[in-house]
Amino acid sequence: MTELVIIAKDIILPIFILLMIGFIIQRKFSLDVQTLARLNIYFLVPGFIFVRLYETTFNFSIFFQIFSFFVMFVIVLFVVAHMVGRMLGLDPKRKTVFTNSVVFYNSGNYGVPVNDLVFKSDPFAMSIQVIVLTMQNIFLFSYGIFSLRQADIGKVRALLGYFRMPVLYAMLAGILLNIFSVPIPEFIWVPANYIADAMVAIALLTLGAQVAQLKIAKQLTSVYVSVTIRLLIAPFIALGIIYAFGLSGVLAQALFISAAMPTSVNSAVIAQEYNNHPQLAAQIVLFSTLMSTFTVTLIIFLSRVLFT
């Protein structure tokens, strides 16, 4: 009971305070949500990824294990979501949003504080979470955007459009400068950190603003199914992969917990940016974040039983 209260107070409550601020501001001032989405994609997320990659200490053995787990996990989730989306009879655009909502999970502004609380600021555990976060963002801002745009502009143009995204270059710069230990001048590093620190707040404020525009549909079947897969089925898919790969200890525990995170805020952000059922995407993020209050707590408990 004490652990539940701590998680609710230190992780869930701060998230919902920022969501509520975005909700209230949108109701009062009618912000341009499209502009907020672009601010996230073209400014805040690239800065966040650059700073976190530059700061991370790379262990290539651990990196390969996490990478292998992540690839297998995403493939299984994609197949499950795609098949379920087809069973629900979703049109191609809605099925893309549905699939993205299952595959892309909130490993940043939700997963990072959960990791920090569970492992008490253990740098090894946090490095695992940062690697997962990085791969999630690379995947989200490559395939995620490609999948949303290909229906409108074709696969080739959608693929070429990715190379205009600053996330790609922020990722490459962060990794290369880190590997070669290139010092960053203070006048660049200070504003870069300001940008990175602003990402979580603005992303959640954007989601709150999106929620304020929602008109809750009567038919929420696809929302409920997405949330069920993301919060209940996905962690146990991850558990099967963890056992199959023979992972153990903090690595297994951190990956299991990270797999239980709710749908990524940025999946709603890119749906808003490219106007592909943004209300459906925002509803899934909202419901999955609400329900994760209970499911993430359960997964944290199970992770301690299974891996400690």
* pLDDT tens by residue, 28-84: 999 888 788 788 878 988 898 888 888 877 677 888 999 999 999 999 999 999 999
Q: Is 165 helix (H, G, I), strand (E, B) or coil?
A: coil
Check residues 256 and 210 and name the one with the higher pLDDT: 256
Residues whose CB falls within 8 Å of the CB of residue 50, separated by 6 or more in sequence, listed in order: 170, 171, 173, 174, 192, 196
The residues spanned by each domain of the chain are 2-307
Cα–Cα separations (whole angstroms), residue 249 to 142, 194, 259, 307: 32, 34, 16, 5
The pLDDT of residue 158 = 53
Query: How high does pLDDT run on average in the chain?
Result: 84
pLDDT band at 257 (very low <50, low <70, confident <90, very high): very high
Q: Which pLDDT score is estimated for 45?
A: 81
User: By three-state DSSP, how is residue 105 classified?
Assistant: strand
For residue 180, report the phi and psi dihedrals to the nearest 5 degrees.
-95, 10
- Bigger pLDDT: 253 or 106? 253
Exposed e or buried b per residue across 24-38, where buried means at least 16 C-beta atoms within 10 angstroms of its C-beta: eebeeeebebeebbe
Reported as a single tens digit per residue, the pLDDT across 280-307 is 888 898 889 889 888 998 898 899 889 9
pLDDT tens-place string over residues 167-192: 778 878 988 998 899 999 999 999 99
Longest Cα–Cα distance in the chain:
55
Tell me the mean pLDDT in the region 23-29: 93
Total residues found in the chain within this entry: 308
* Class of the CATH-defined domain 2-307: mainly alpha
pLDDT of residue 66: 92
Cα radius of gyration rounded to whole Å, the chain: 18
Please tell me what DSSP assigns to residue 154. Answer: -
* Rounded-to-integer distance, Cα 225 and Cα 216, Å: 16
pLDDT band with cut points at 50, 70 and 90 for residue 128: confident
**Do the Cβ atoms of 85 and 98 come closer than 8 Å?**
yes
